Amino acid sequence: MASGFNGQNFAFIGYLPVKPAERATAIREIERTSGREKQTQIFIEAPYRNAKLLEELLSLCNGLTKLCIAVDLTMESEFVVTKSIAEWRKVPPELGKRPAIFLLQSM
């Protein structure tokens, strides 16, 4: 709900592939599916790979696509922010090795 995305139509993807080529293919497919189905795509990553996943999302996704990053849910350090990919590219967050959830909604 905090993302502002469609909560009635969503898919939990889980972990994306680790191999770069497979991950890139998965990211592109997730973005296409989100736009086609008007569906929020939810996925996670091992905390030590957060930075790499974010880097790939910012380089592969359309600038108009929205990305919500939710870190440290239910903790005092909780961070839940939704921006377009273009906005995230200007000032990407420092996620560190904290538990994070990524939500993507293509326009």
Rounded to an integer, the average pLDDT of 76-88 is: 94
Distance CA 52, CA 71 (A): 15
Q: Which amino acid is at 9?
A: N
Judged against a pLDDT cut of 70, whether residue 17 lies above it is answered with yes
Per-residue confidence (pLDDT) for residue 8, from 0 to 100: 86
Burial class (CB in 10 A: 0-12, 13-18, 19+), 69: buried
Per-residue confidence (pLDDT) for residue 28, from 0 to 100: 97
10-105, what's its fold?
3.30.950
Per-residue confidence (pLDDT) for residue 1, from 0 to 100: 64
Q: Are 66 and 5 in contact (CB under 8 A)?
A: yes
Give the distance, in angstroms, between the CA of residue 71 and the centroid of all CA atoms in the same chain: 11
Per-residue confidence (pLDDT) for residue 2, from 0 to 100: 65
